[in-house]
């Protein structure tokens, strides 16, 4: 599983803490982690709106399998990611959120609050959330006897989202302000992750075109 971590301007100063805890958990499982957002407050400037665009491109192109995002409260990042087709983002404040999302909703992204409640023991809470998010078989249901309806409902929700978002994925990107998209894909580490791992030539050509514009 390839994991992307992306952080925006308001919480960029905490990137080193978050990256350390995520990588510590991922390394034990052999999962590569790509730190594609802001690494400090002086880095390529991003908002949670850009994170949604970035996450959608990485997930729809299969450059990564899972995204960890967030902002001050986590709410803006969650809404921004969930706007896009192919992205199912949960909201995570503590380890049981991560576990239940993995087992019941089986999505491909989590939005965390990097300001709210981020005090003593914050790094421990991060580590425990990441452990629960990436431990065990996803989508097994909780409790286990509820697996069948939970899997069914998660599938129905995905079908409803596909029905609502009727446009081709690239058409949804083309409908967004081009400057927003260009800013989202202009980060050096984002490009390194995307171009090395992208499995969709059409999305790759689109991104190259945006960067060249």
Q: So where are the chain's domains?
A: 3-212
Radius of gyration, CA atoms only, the chain: 17
Residue 32, CA distances (Å) to 5, 19, 23, 24 in order? 11, 12, 8, 11
| d(C-alpha 127, C-alpha 189), whole Å | 23
| d(C-alpha 55, C-alpha 67), whole Å | 7
**Position 164 confidence tier, pLDDT thresholds 50, 70, 90:** confident
**pLDDT for 162 beyond 90:** no
Q: What is the mean pLDDT of residues 181-192?
A: 98
Antiparallel, parallel or unpaired: β 109-113 and 89-92: parallel
The pLDDT value recorded for residue 163 is: 83
With pLDDT > 90 as the criterion, what percentage of the chain qualifies? 85
pLDDT, tens only, 97-153: 999 999 999 999 999 999 999 999 999 999 999 999 998 888 888 888 888 999 899
Q: What is the mean pLDDT of residues 162-187?
A: 92
Name which of 66-75, 93-102, 163-172 the model is least confident about: 163-172
Q: What is the pTM of this model?
A: 0.95
**Which stretches within 134-199 are classed as H helix?**
147-164, 169-174, 178-185, 188-197
**Which stretches within 72-166 are classed as H helix?**
75-82, 95-100, 122-133, 147-164
List beta partners, residue 109: 67, 89
| d(C-alpha 14, C-alpha 115), whole Å | 9
Could you give the 3-state DSSP secondary structure of residue 112?
Answer: strand
The pLDDT value recorded for residue 144 is: 83
**Position 158 confidence tier, pLDDT thresholds 50, 70, 90:** confident
**pLDDT for 166 beyond 80:** no
| d(C-alpha 22, C-alpha 18), whole Å | 6
Q: What is the mean pLDDT of residues 85-103?
A: 96
The mean pLDDT value of the chain amounts to 95
Closest CA to 45 of 5, 4, 6, 8: 8
**pLDDT for 91 beyond 90:** yes
Cis omega before residue 143 (within 30°)? yes
Contact at 8 Å (CB) between 32 and 3?
Answer: yes
Q: What is the mean pLDDT of residues 16-33?
A: 97
Assign domain 3-212 to its CATH superfamily.
Sugar-phosphate isomerase, RpiB/LacA/LacB (3.40.1400.10)
């Amino acid at each position: 599983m390839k994991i992307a971590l992306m952080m925006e301007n308001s919480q960029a100063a905490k990137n080193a803490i978050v990256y350390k805890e995520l990588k510590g958990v991922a390394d034990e499982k052999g999962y590569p982690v790509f730190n594609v957002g802001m690494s400090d407050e002086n880095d390529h400037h991003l908002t949670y709106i850009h994170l949604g665009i970035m996450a959608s491109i990485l997930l729809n192109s299969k450059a990564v399998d899972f995204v960890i995002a967030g902002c001050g409260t986590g709410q803006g990042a969650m809404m921004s990611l969930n706007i896009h087709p192919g992205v199912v983002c949960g909201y995570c404040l503590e380890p049981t959120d991560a576990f239940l999302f993995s087992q019941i909703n089986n999505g491909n992204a989590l939005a965390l609050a990097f300001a709210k409640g981020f005090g003593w023991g914050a790094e421990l809470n991060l580590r425990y959330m990441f452990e629960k998010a990436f431990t065990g078989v996803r989508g097994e249901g909780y409790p286990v006897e509820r697996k069948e309806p939970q899997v069914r409902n998660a599938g129905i929700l995905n079908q409803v989202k596909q029905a609502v978002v009727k446009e081709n994925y690239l058409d949804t990107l083309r409908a967004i302000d081009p400057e927003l998209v260009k800013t989202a894909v202009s980060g050096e580490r984002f490009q390194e992750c995307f171009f090395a791992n992208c499995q969709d030539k059409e999305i790759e050509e689109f991104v190259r075109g945006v960067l060249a514009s």
